[in-house]
Amino acid sequence: MTVQRTFDDGRHRRGFGSPSVLHALRDAVLAIVVFLAVLLGLMAAQASGPAIPAHTKVAVQHHMPPPYANTPAPQRVHVHLKLGVRAGLLFNVRTGQVLWSHDPQLRVPIASLTKMMTALLVVSHTRPSDKAFITPNVVHFSGSGMGILPLHKHVLVKTLLYGLLLPSGNDAAIALAQRVAGTVDNFIKMMNARARAMKLSCTHYTTVSGIVDRGNHSCTRDLAVLAHAMLKQPLLARIVSTAHAVEPLPIKHGKAWLNNNNPLLIEGYRGADGVKTGFTDAAGQCLVGTARRGRTWLGVVLLHSANTAIQGPRLLDAGFAAMAPPKPARKSHRHRSKQR
């Protein structure tokens, strides 16, 4: 009886319903499920492309609008500017349609409009809560600047972006470039690489701030594309639409009061929401300005302008008038004699 029981136990262990066989089947099923899950994951990854860090997705997912002024097109706006301007463009921000242009592919110095590309690269490689170290190179800047950055302290990237785009801080540009690329020279290489990737055929950079004019140039068409790219970035769009800002800074009072140089915002132009100004002797007055009214969103680029504060609103006003829907024709009413 003992031998038979041993034989029976052994037979049950080897049978289909024995625990060892069930465990083996369960393991096999689990292995198949895991394999299928991995296979589906790989297929999804190939379909969606390589993984991108969350904070850089906004920068690469948006499609650029149609190239501005690449091909001649009938202009909807006819404006004669009494004051001089070397190059200008009036365009629809959403569609890229050109409403008016003057030498849209003329390459000229762009002064602090350079900082548009600087800002784009910074938001592609950092988070607003990141910090940049303030080195001696930052505080020994030339030209316009925040002027209050504390040496050997860490400052929020967001604060520096406000300082870059509102008062046009050259010191902020240096600090941000070093935070992203280690050195200013490395950052300039990144700027030119991004310009090539965006097919900005007129654009070349030799500085992160625009303080150097030699070899640092663009055209109105390229700057319109840059404006579109900036305004698709929520943080940058919020910054450039701000007339005044108070941002945290590790100094005595703990805050930095910053004012925007954009004449559209300074003068309270209706619907104004960006973007950047610039000035050097070689570049003259420069402006990339945008404004919204209803669903119409227009932008203007002025390079080496005699007066951006006058020419910018004049062109935008003409653009909004041209884009306004036609008024319905009034119905004629015949005078009827009064009935008595």
pLDDT for 325: 78
pLDDT for 51: 34
Q: What's CA 294's distance to the chain center, in Å?
A: 22
The candidate with the shortest Cα–Cα distance to 216, out of 121, 90, 117, 140, is 117
163/249 Cα distance (integer angstroms): 11
The answer to whether 280 touches 113, Cβ cutoff 8 Å, is: no
DSSP 243: S
pLDDT for 237: 98
pLDDT for 310: 96
* Tens-level pLDDT at each residue, the chain (340 residues): 333 333 333 334 344 455 555 566 666 666 666 566 655 555 444 433 333 333 333 333 344 455 565 554 556 787 778 889 999 999 999 999 999 999 999 999 999 999 999 999 999 999 999 999 999 999 999 999 999 999 999 999 999 999 999 999 999 999 999 999 999 999 999 999 999 999 999 999 999 999 999 999 999 999 999 999 999 999 999 999 999 999 999 999 999 999 999 999 999 999 999 999 999 999 999 999 999 999 999 999 999 999 999 999 999 999 999 988 777 766 655 554 444 4
| Distance between first and last Cα of the chain | 131
